[in-house]
Amino acid sequence: MTSKTIIASSQPEEEARRMLAICNACRYCEGFCAVFPAMTKRQVFSASDLSYLGNLCHNCNACYHGCQYVAPHQFQVNIPKAMAELRGKTYEDFAWPKRLSGIFRYSGLTASLTVTVSLIIVFGLLLFLREPGILFQAESGPGSFYQIISHQLMVISATSTSGFAVMAIAIGLFRYWRHCKLDKIQTQHLRTATKNVAQMTYLGGDNEEGCNDIDESFSNHRRYYHQAVMWGFLMCFASTCVATFYDYVLNLEAPYDYLSFPVLLGTVGGIAMLVGCVGLFVIKWRSDPNPRASIQLGLDYAFIIMLFLSSATGLILMILRETKLMPILLAVHLAVVLSLFVMLPYSKFVHAGYRFISLIKYAQESQDGQQ
């Protein structure tokens, strides 16, 4: 499928072009973030340019509160909302397979919870048919998880869903990379983009004072909660990798001791994700509705809730793993994690990859332009 087939002109794109033309003439917000310096390099905005600018925007809302042309002015400029709609269109345009993108975009939480409940029922039936009393049977010690759900079933279900997620995300990012027409990328471009992602530079606002999430006041709370979710997720991923090493190389079966490296990584990472998800949910719930795209809210909430549930069920399972509740908790946690894998390519999760690619292009434009 070619880029022309994927990208078609739409109402969000036309509105974005109209607003950006006004911004290009005004340029009051030129120093606010990366979007406006990138915008001023263009007089005409192609579909590729709009996707790039939309994903470069971090939705800090500074330009909305600083703009003299927002409603009730007749120009009705609303750059954060326009950029959010462009991001949503990008996720849908480049998703694979596209049909699943539509399902999760318009009913993300419903679809995710439906998959989760279905998997819980399936695991429950498998356990019941295997041995009716096993649903409330206490197990402890190494290998106790596999007494409930076989190691083979866990491996097949986890690798198939995670493999699908990785493949679907990779296809979408590859399509977006080609759409942005990135070439001649140098190490310094990647280094700059990686630094901006790790520090979440553009969630710090113009003067590191933060974003205008709820009203005109500045706050770095959204930046900190984002970092808690990001680093917490990476720590949980590292925990899984270490546990895999323990299992296949050291022949040590889960569950592991509370003070073991994989458990400590997963515990700290899980708590960080819980704190970050709650904080982001509260900010999103209380935020000003005017500079945001309402069509994206369902998908945003779905991703936050599924991340929260995966962390919460994992921590509860760890605490109660030697009780009679362990079999049920294991089935619930596994179902939540597998559902999360299925929804990842069509959720807010992909914004990390799209934004990273946009930051690479911005670093290239900025640094090459100075030479």
Taking residue 36's Cβ as centre, other Cβ atoms within 10 Å add up to 22
pLDDT in tens, 40-78: 999 999 999 999 999 999 999 999 999 999 999 999 999
For residue 148, what pLDDT is reported?
A: 87
Give the integer Cα–Cα distance in Å for 326 and 322: 7
Structure tokens at 203: 């969630």
Nearest to 310 by CA among 112, 170, 104: 112
Is pLDDT at 124 greater than 80 in this prediction? no
Give the integer Cα–Cα distance in Å for 347 and 299: 6
Which letter, b or e, does each residue of 81-94 get, where b requires 16 or more Cβ atoms within 10 Å of its Cβ? bbbbbbbbbbbbbb
Confidence of residue 6 (pLDDT cuts 50, 70, 90): very low
Same-domain status, 226 and 282: yes
For residue 283, what pLDDT is reported?
A: 95
Same-domain status, 154 and 246: yes
DSSP secondary structure of 72-101: TSTT---HHHHHHHHHHHHHHHH-SSHHHH
Is pLDDT at 8 greater than 80 in this prediction? no
Same-domain status, 124 and 56: no
Same-domain status, 200 and 315: yes
pLDDT in tens, 155-209: 999 999 999 999 999 999 999 999 999 988 999 999 999 999 999 999 987 677 8
- What is the amino acid identity at position 86? L
Same-domain status, 24 and 152: no
Confidence of residue 141 (pLDDT cuts 50, 70, 90): confident
Whether the CB-CB separation of 109 and 219 falls below 8 Å is answered with no
Same-domain status, 177 and 78: no
Same-domain status, 90 and 114: no
Identify the bridge partners of residue 211 per DSSP, sorted by sequence position.
Answer: 219
For residue 197, what pLDDT is reported?
A: 94
What percent of the chain clears pLDDT 90, i.e. is strictly above it?
A: 68
CA end-to-end distance (rounded Å), the chain: 36
For residue 215, what pLDDT is reported?
A: 84
74, 94, 114 - which closes a domain:
94
Confidence of residue 104 (pLDDT cuts 50, 70, 90): confident
Residue 175: CA atoms inside 13 Å, Cβ hemisphere, count?
24
49, 74, 94 - which closes a domain:
94
Same-domain status, 202 and 334: yes
Q: In whole angstroms, how far apart are CA 107 and each of 102, 112, 343? A: 8, 9, 11
Sequence-distant (6+) residues with CB within 8 A of 18 are none
Tell me the pTM. 0.91
For residue 1, what pLDDT is reported?
A: 40
Same-domain status, 51 and 144: no
Instruction: Phi first, then psi: give them for residue 58, nearest 5 degrees.
Output: -100, 5
Same-domain status, 247 and 272: yes
Residue range of the domain that includes 224: 98-367
Give the number of domains in the chain: 2
Kindly give the residue spans of alpha helices, DSSP state H, lying in the chain: 3-6, 11-26, 35-39, 47-56, 62-66, 79-94, 98-130, 144-148, 151-179, 187-199, 221-248, 261-286, 294-319, 326-343, 351-370
Q: What is the mean pLDDT of residues 342-355?
A: 94
Whether the CB-CB separation of 334 and 149 falls below 8 Å is answered with yes
Is pLDDT at 227 greater than 60 in this prediction? yes
Same-domain status, 225 and 300: yes
- What is the amino acid identity at position 341? F
Same-domain status, 86 and 125: no
94, 118, 153 - which closes a domain:
94
Mean pLDDT, all residues of the chain = 89
